């Protein structure tokens, strides 16, 4: 399924959540600027630094953006698009589809499509807030003609969902920066913040393993977590390692899903 000369793939994906994670967690957080500032960092500082890194490393990434974030930070989304990156769906608010009544889940999907299209994005991929599906999600995505999902942990290779056109680009907690870096208050203070070096070791070993299997490494990152200077330096190191493999194709999730779609059709 890879372009000629390539034997494996990698996708750098960023879930541009901004304040929405904290607003979904507790609507009362709307009155707590200190709490929300954890997410605002992503919009103010994280995304611009990620765009700079991408420019310098000449790579294109995929940004999953909640509709409400696109509405609040339209210029950031335009900058992402202007950098040649993909913008894809991540809910309207950051509420899990599994926690929504059916009409609200459908409404969220439609509003998020509208919000991204209003900024001239052409979203064809979906990552649910929290990687969570309801029993209706798959059918809704199919009906909207969505090409791919990036939410499931049951494989290392892209596959097609049963009874659906939808391509899955599998993810995993170990390749998610939130699992290693997310500390946001008293409940998580028993946890230690991981060192960038420790996370680099985990990511690099897993990347090498997936690459040897000829599959695709999907990194899930969040501007509010990965967007700190020491962590971005770590990401740059990982990108350098990836780019030292001439047989690796670093692409957007859409590009990988399009090739998987054709390859799975043939097989």
Q: Could you list the residues that contact Zn ion (CB under 5 A)? A: 15, 17, 129
- The nearer residue to Zn ion, 13 or 215, going by C-beta atoms, is 13
Q: What's the CA gap between 89 and 112, in Å, rounded?
A: 7
- The nearer residue to Zn ion, 15 or 105, going by C-beta atoms, is 15
Q: What's the CA gap between 267 and 265, in Å, rounded?
A: 6
Q: What's the CA gap between 134 and 55, in Å, rounded?
A: 37
* Residue 251: CB minimum distance to Zn ion, A: 21
- The nearer residue to Zn ion, 15 or 168, going by C-beta atoms, is 15
Q: DSSP H helical segments within the chain, as ranges?
A: 20-25, 33-41, 47-57, 67-72, 74-82, 102-117, 137-143, 177-181, 196-212, 223-226, 229-243, 253-266
- The nearer residue to Zn ion, 129 or 158, going by C-beta atoms, is 129
* Residue 214: CB minimum distance to Zn ion, A: 29
- The nearer residue to Zn ion, 168 or 177, going by C-beta atoms, is 177
Evaluate whether 254 touches 124 at the Cβ level (below 8 Å): yes
* Residue 267: CB minimum distance to Zn ion, A: 32
Residue number closest to Zn ion, CB atom: 15
- The nearer residue to Zn ion, 17 or 108, going by C-beta atoms, is 17
Of 235, 231, 265, 262, the residue nearest 250 (C-alpha): 235
- In the three-class reduction of DSSP (H, G, I as helix; E, B as strand; rest coil), residue 136 is classed as coil
- In the three-class reduction of DSSP (H, G, I as helix; E, B as strand; rest coil), residue 46 is classed as helix
* Residue 79: CB minimum distance to Zn ion, A: 19
Of 106, 94, 147, the residue nearest 261 (C-alpha): 147
* Residue 197: CB minimum distance to Zn ion, A: 25
* Residue 223: CB minimum distance to Zn ion, A: 10
């Amino acid at each position: 399924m890879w372009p000629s000369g390539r034997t494996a793939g990698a996708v750098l994906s960023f879930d541009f959540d901004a304040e929405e994670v904290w607003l979904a967690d507790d609507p009362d957080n709307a009155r707590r600027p200190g709490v929300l500032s954890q997410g605002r960092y992503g919009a103010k500082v994280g995304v611009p630094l990620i765009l700079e890194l991408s420019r310098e490393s000449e790579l294109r990434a995929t940004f999953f953006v909640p509709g409400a974030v696109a509405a609040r930070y339209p210029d950031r989304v335009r900058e992402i698009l202007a950098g040649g990156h993909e913008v894809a769906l991540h809910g309207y608010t950051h509420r899990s589809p599994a926690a929504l009544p059916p009409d609200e889940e459908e409404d969220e999907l439609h509003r998020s499509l509208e919000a991204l299209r209003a900024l001239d994005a052409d979203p064809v991929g979906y990552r649910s807030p929290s990687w969570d599906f309801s029993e209706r999600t798959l059918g809704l995505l199919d009906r909207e003609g969505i090409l791919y999902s990036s939410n499931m942990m049951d494989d290392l290779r892209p596959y097609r969902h049963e009874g659906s056109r939808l391509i899955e680009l599998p993810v995993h907690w170990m390749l998610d920066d939130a699992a290693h870096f997310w500390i946001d208050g008293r409940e998580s203070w028993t946890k230690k913040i991981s060192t960038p070096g420790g996370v680099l070791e985990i990511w690099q070993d897993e990347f090498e393993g997936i690459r040897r299997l000829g599959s695709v490494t999907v990194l899930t990152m969040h501007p509010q977590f990965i967007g700190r200077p020491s962590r971005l330096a770590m990401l740059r190191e990982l990108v350098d390692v990836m780019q030292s493999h001439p047989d690796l194709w670093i692409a957007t999730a859409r590009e990988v899903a399009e090739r998987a779609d054709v390859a799975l059709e043939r097989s």
